[in-house]
Amino acid sequence: MEDVLGQLKAGIRRFQTEVYPEQAETYRKAASEPQRPRALIVACADSRIDVESITQSGPGDIFVTRNIGNLVPAYGEMLGGVSAVIEYAVSALKVKHIVVCGHTDCGAMKALMHPEAIENMATVKSWMKNAHAALSVANSLAEKDERPSDMMKRLTRRYGVPAPRFSSVLLDACQRHAWPGNLRELENFAKRFLAHGDEDAALHDLHSRPDYGLASKGGNGNGIGHAKPGVLPSNMHTSEEKSSLKLLVRNAKGETERGAIAQALEETHWNRKAAARLLNISYRALLYKIQEYQMAPPAESARLLAVNGLRQVK
């Protein structure tokens, strides 16, 4: 305990004697003028995340809130620090950009995948419910450890369109890409390729991204280089292809949303109010979605199928 407090005190003294004198004008300005941050950043409470260093920001540059898992509860569903910070940042500080900063090896995300790890932490367990809806969406987007080629086969079966060939060059490029963030980016890429079937365009899409190559730095180990990205003509997408892509995205959004709702209803045994809380949406909105997707409890669905069968026989 004494060693920890001693280190903190020593750090404060170093700041006062070494850091502050070199940036005295910056700190005086920050203390005497109203703050005008450029952005709000929602970061994880993980002690390894240094938001100011990552963004190279100084005093007054960014407005920051931190919590376990960098979660943002649905507005109005849970009154607390995150909602208050966002409301203040937008209404009082007029911040125009809000950034959610995730990170590698997040304990909260591990707990989301393995809830038994926080079984004895009642408050943490309750807080992690704010991520259940996102987990439901992620589970509905792809199967565990699904490869891009496998995802393409699944999408072609779902939408009933012929699958464009996934060459070894394109597959290698997909494996080299880091796919930061979530599975949705990978699925959207697969849908775009499914819609226009242009490998040069797909390669150009991957090569032009700043995070390309992060998944396997230094090549693939077999001496095979990357194909040069094709040049995209300005009229590459016809109106028919654009319509096809929009239809794919719209259908995928509906299926993803329906899947997340179905999973929440199943987990709560069709307790609609509990499912609405799990999904972080209003009870009224959930009822509307249930009606829109023509969903019904298992017993009622069986009854409706029986009635429809009798009608067809007659």
pLDDT one-digit tens code per residue, 139-190: 766 666 666 667 667 767 776 666 666 677 877 777 776 665 455 676 677 7
> Which residue's entry shows tokens 């070199």?
22
* Structure tokens, 289: 């979605």
Give the length of the chain. 314
Whether 173 and 186 share a structural domain: yes
Most confident of 124-128, 148-152, 204-208, 290-294: 124-128
Q: Is the pLDDT of residue 221 over 90?
A: no
Last residue of a domain, which of 138, 156, 187? 138
The answer to whether residues 120 and 146 belong to one domain is no
Q: Three-state SS for 78?
A: coil
Residue 91, Cβ density class (10 Å: 0-12 exposed, 13-18 middle, ≥19 buried)? exposed
Last residue of a domain, which of 82, 106, 130? 106
Residue 64, helix vs strand vs coil: strand
pTM (two decimals): 0.51
Give yes or no: residues 57 and 114 share one domain: no
Q: In the block, which residue shows the tokens 């898992």?
A: 69
**264 and 201, same structural domain?**
no
Please tell me the predicted confidence (pLDDT) of residue 78: 59
Same domain assignment for residues 150 and 231: yes
- Asked whether residue 127 falls in the same domain as residue 147, the answer is no
Q: In terms of domains, do 113 and 131 share one?
A: yes
Beta strands in the chain (DSSP E): 39-44, 62-67, 98-101
Three-state SS letters, 181-220: CCHHHHHHHHHHHHHHCCHHHHHHHHHCCCCCCHHHCCCC
Question: In the predicted model, what is the mean pLDDT of residues 23-27?
Answer: 91
Residue numbers of the domain that contains 261: 249-308
Last-in-domain residue among 87, 120, 138: 138
- What's the pLDDT at 212? 54
Provide the phi-psi class of 269: left if phi over 0, else alpha when psi is between -120 and 50, else beta: left
Assess whether pLDDT exceeds 90 at residue 107: yes
- Residue 19 falls inside a structural domain: no
175 and 256 inside one domain: no
Asked if residue 3 belongs to a domain, the reply is no
Asked whether residue 167 is assigned to any structural domain, the reply reads: yes
| CATH number of the domain within which 45 lies | 3.40.1050.10
Residue 75 lies in a domain: yes
| Domain assignment of residue 9, yes or no | no
314 in any annotated domain: no
The residue ranking higher by pLDDT, 147 or 60, is 60
- 7 in a domain, yes or no? no
Amino acid identity, position 260: A
Count how many domains the chain has. Answer: 4
Displacement of CA 225 from its chain's centroid (Å)? 31
311 has pLDDT over 50? yes
**241 located within any domain:** no
Q: Distance between terminal CA atoms of the chain?
A: 82
Asked if pLDDT for residue 270 goes beyond 50, the answer is: yes
**Shared-domain flag, residues 61 and 134:** no
Q: What pLDDT sits at residue 227? A: 34
β-partners of residue 63 are 40
129 and 59, same domain (yes or no): no
Residues 134 and 151 in one domain: no
Find the CATH number of the domain harbouring 284. Answer: 1.10.10.60
Please, are residues 203 and 169 in contact by the beta-carbon 8 Å criterion? Answer: yes
Query: What's the pLDDT at 232?
Result: 35
**pLDDT above 80: residue 230:** no
Residues contacting 82, CB < 8 A, separation 6+? 42, 65, 67, 71, 72, 73
Residues 232 and 289 grouped into a single domain: no
